[in-house]
């Protein structure tokens, strides 16, 4: 028997669509437009944006040569493609803000476990053209609204990674610290000292964690402007009643971030607890060849929140069933009219009254309309509220 690939699964849960509808409605209420970008892109796009040294690019890409000899890759995340599209359509030259939402599959060749898949779905948003810290607050508020509407409890963690003014100085300090402890760090962290020292801060290795507890933190070394923005961010979240924790080790797994980074985590879903992540990427558009344009966004992991969404137990819609075959065309005709207003299911097989009512109950319908010989003669229905 042929089975789905490891780490990939069929979606059979109606909560998936409920999440889609909720996220879409909230994004549209915030003034965002829909964008759909290709699932396959040039590998170079992800190498340049997510970062050559990141785990995603280094270890997890579904990368191959296509029949035309192009080096391509199934997208591991959504931001890179949206930025590529933003530049390709010359929105960077218009110098006016542009805001997009998207929903679709992403692919990472990770070791599958609970909450971690090789194909998973993200709802994401990207806001271009505004460097105001109040936009960061706007988008965090949007994510919080989506979770609140879905009845999901979360902890929000925030941090700032600084800007080209404060980051390089901090980086030098950190590298100095790491070199002093190099021998006691894990292999990955030793490699990171050269390639991406900031990523050592969220290493899961216990030994590294113990050493890095004393490492300098970027949040304590921000320049005046980054520091002031970070204070405004905290005040802005307080103002909206959105609770947060400052996590000085929150550095995220993608290289394009500057300034604000954040993650929403849930303590109800096990080790893979991040249900959304995002931040500011003011240099990415320029880095990918566009005119310098600030950007900020986030993505929610749909599979991670599926189990957290409460099931909709409310009955809805109408079940129509026939006791004799001649009644089927009669109910089909009525159903077409009623469907303009609400959900109607027509059972295509003749059944007994008891069997129809049982099926209507199982299908969670609100009302059953049954037609037998008498009802057909009178042009009537037997109605049962369930």
Q: Which residues bind ligand HAM (CB under 6 A)?
A: 77-79, 108, 110, 116-117, 120, 122, 124, 126, 253-254, 274-279, 297-299, 301, 303-304
Closest approach of Cβ 4 to ligand HAM, in Å?
Answer: 15
* φ, ψ at 315 (rounded to 5°): -75, 145
Closest approach of Cβ 184 to ligand HAM, in Å?
Answer: 28
| CA–CA distance, 80 with 57 (Å, rounded to integer) | 12
Cβ-proximal residue to ligand HAM, closest one: 301
Looking at beta carbons only, is 287 or 382 nearer to ligand HAM? 287
Looking at beta carbons only, is 252 or 334 nearer to ligand HAM? 252
Tokens of 240: 């909206």
Looking at beta carbons only, is 122 or 367 nearer to ligand HAM? 122
Looking at beta carbons only, is 122 or 160 nearer to ligand HAM? 122
Tokens of 168: 């390089």
Looking at beta carbons only, is 276 or 309 nearer to ligand HAM? 276
Closest approach of Cβ 299 to ligand HAM, in Å?
Answer: 4
Closest approach of Cβ 89 to ligand HAM, in Å?
Answer: 18
CB distance 386 to 368 below 8 Å: yes
* φ, ψ at 275 (rounded to 5°): -100, -15
| CA–CA distance, 149 with 123 (Å, rounded to integer) | 15
Closest approach of Cβ 79 to ligand HAM, in Å?
Answer: 4
CB distance 269 to 304 below 8 Å: yes
| CA–CA distance, 44 with 26 (Å, rounded to integer) | 33
Q: Which residues contact residue 361 at a Cβ distance below 8 angstroms, ignoring those fewer than 6 apart?
A: 386
Distance of CA 203 to the CA centre of its chain: 23
Looking at beta carbons only, is 156 or 322 nearer to ligand HAM? 156
**Residue 271, CA distances (Å) to 116, 119, 122, 134, 274 in order:** 10, 18, 19, 32, 9
| CA–CA distance, 336 with 306 (Å, rounded to integer) | 33
Looking at beta carbons only, is 73 or 331 nearer to ligand HAM? 73
| CA–CA distance, 223 with 164 (Å, rounded to integer) | 10
CB distance 136 to 158 below 8 Å: no
Closest approach of Cβ 148 to ligand HAM, in Å?
Answer: 17
Tokens of 105: 């599959």
Closest approach of Cβ 368 to ligand HAM, in Å?
Answer: 40
Dihedral sign computed on CA atoms, order 124, 79, 75, 101: positive
Looking at beta carbons only, is 147 or 298 nearer to ligand HAM? 298
Closest approach of Cβ 195 to ligand HAM, in Å?
Answer: 18
| CA–CA distance, 217 with 249 (Å, rounded to integer) | 7
Looking at beta carbons only, is 10 or 183 nearer to ligand HAM? 10
Closest approach of Cβ 176 to ligand HAM, in Å?
Answer: 29
Looking at beta carbons only, is 126 or 135 nearer to ligand HAM? 126
Closest approach of Cβ 118 to ligand HAM, in Å?
Answer: 7
Closest-CA residue to 38 (of 10, 92, 11, 78): 78
- Left (φ > 0), alpha (ψ -120 to 50) or beta: where does 162 sit? left
Closest-CA residue to 280 (of 78, 128, 165, 386): 128
């Amino acid at each position: 028997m042929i089975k789905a690939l490891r780490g990939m699964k069929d979606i059979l849960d109606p909560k998936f669509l409920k999440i889609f509808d909720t996220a879409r409605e909230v994004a549209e209420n915030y003034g965002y437009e829909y964008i759909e970008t290709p699932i396959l892109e040039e590998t170079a796009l992800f190498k340049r944006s997510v970062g050559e040294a990141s785990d995603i690019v280094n270890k997890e890409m579904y990368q191959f040569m296509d029949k035309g000899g192009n080096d391509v890759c199934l997208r591991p995340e959504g931001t890179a493609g949206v930025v590529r599209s933003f530049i390709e359509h010359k929105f960077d030259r218009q110098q006016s803000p542009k805001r997009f939402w998207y929903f679709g599959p992403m692919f990472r060749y990770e070791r599958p476990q609970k909450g971690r898949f090789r194909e998973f779905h993200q709802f994401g948003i990207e806001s271009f053209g505004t460097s105001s810290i109040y936009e960061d607050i706007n988008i965090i508020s949007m994510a919080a609204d989506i979770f609140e509407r879905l009845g999901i409890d979360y902890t929000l963690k925030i941090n700032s990674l600084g800007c080209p003014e404060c980051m390089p100085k901090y980086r030098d300090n950190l590298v100095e610290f790491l070199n002093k402890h190099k021998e006691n760090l894990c292999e990955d962290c030793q490699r990171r000292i050269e390639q991406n020292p900031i990523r050592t801060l969220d290493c899961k290795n216990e030994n590294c964690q113990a050493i890095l507890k004393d490492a300098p933190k970027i949040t304590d070394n921000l320049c005046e402007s980054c520091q002031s923005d970070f204070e405004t961010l905290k005040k802005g979240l307080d103002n909206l009643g959105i609770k947060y924790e400052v996590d000085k080790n929150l550095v995220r797994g993608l290289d394009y971030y500057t300034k604000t980074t954040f993650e929403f985590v849930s303590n109800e879903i096990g080790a893979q607890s991040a249900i959304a992540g995002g931040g500011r990427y003011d240099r990415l558009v320029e880095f990918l060849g566009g005119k310098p344009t600030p950007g900020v966004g986030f993505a929610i992991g749909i599979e991670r929140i599926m189990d957290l969404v409460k099931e909709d137990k409310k009955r809805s819609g109408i079940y129509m069933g026939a006791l004799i075959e001649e009644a089927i065309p009669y109910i089909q005709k009525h159903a077409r009219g009623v469907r303009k207003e609400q959900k109607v299911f027509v059972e295509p097989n003749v059944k007994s009254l008891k069997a129809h009512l049982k099926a209507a109950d199982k299908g969670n319908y609100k009302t059953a309309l049954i037609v037998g010989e008498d009802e057909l003669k009178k042009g009537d229905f037997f109605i049962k509220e369930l």
